[in-house]
Amino acid sequence: MGNFAVPIMNPTDYKLLKEIKSGNRPAFMTFYDRHWNTFYSFIFARTKSKDITEEILQKLWVRILEDADFVQTDEQQNAKNYLLRFLHFRIVDQYKSKEQTLVNVENLDDETFELTDSEYFEILEENDIGELFEMINQIVSQLSSTEQKVYDLRIRKNMSVNETAEALGLSNKTVSNNLSKSITEIRKQLSPKYKSSKKLISALIWLEIMANMS
């Protein structure tokens, strides 16, 4: 009766994964129901594609059923943060497999992207990302025409410094300076409401790049 064992009451992820390994399907369904919404939202926010989201999630569930031991849990026996990191890299793999350039962020010299995994996921959990994107769009709309164009090509369209400079008829230095000014202004305007805005902007720019690659 291994496959039909009665689920544990209020189990931790760690306990569920052990039960899943032994063939307990109700334990898998408990784990699935616990994390499905979070994982689906996480992937869809970055890919803007229902098909890609479902494909990545399907592979995750199959992997867990076949090899639950690969999942690591934290001190509270929670697997969520580990699996969010795992899914992040599966999204990266998805775009690499299509021979797309992932992120052209060279020459951003103000530590914009120095962000640890734990900081990244903490920011996602603690902030309304949709609200923040709306705020950033509003701030960008107030920038100079050149700054708006540079931000759009470098961040939203993921173009390199050289490509952006050629498209706009600017020097590489002018492109870098204008992007730096844009990011500085975004940080400045978000700072009154959001603490640690430097880290926050790092996460948001990563999200915006990922969201516009689908």
Which residue type, as a one-letter code, is found at position 129? I
What is the pLDDT at residue 180? Answer: 84
Question: Higher pLDDT residue, 123 or 78?
Answer: 78
The pLDDT tens digits for 74-107 are 889 999 988 988 888 787 677 655 544 334 444 3
Residues 10 and 55: beta-carbon distance below 8 Å = no
Answer whether residue 137 shows pLDDT above 70: yes
Question: Higher pLDDT residue, 202 or 175?
Answer: 175
108: tokens are 């951003």
Question: Higher pLDDT residue, 110 or 72?
Answer: 72
Alpha carbon distance 166, 170 (integer Å): 7
Question: Higher pLDDT residue, 90 or 144?
Answer: 144
What integer best gives the mean pLDDT of the chain? Answer: 76
Residue of 23, 65, 16 whose CA lies nearest to 7 = 16
Average pLDDT over residues 171-189: 86
What is the pLDDT at residue 48? Answer: 76
Q: Hey, CA dihedral for 102, 45, 78, 68, is it positive or negative?
A: negative
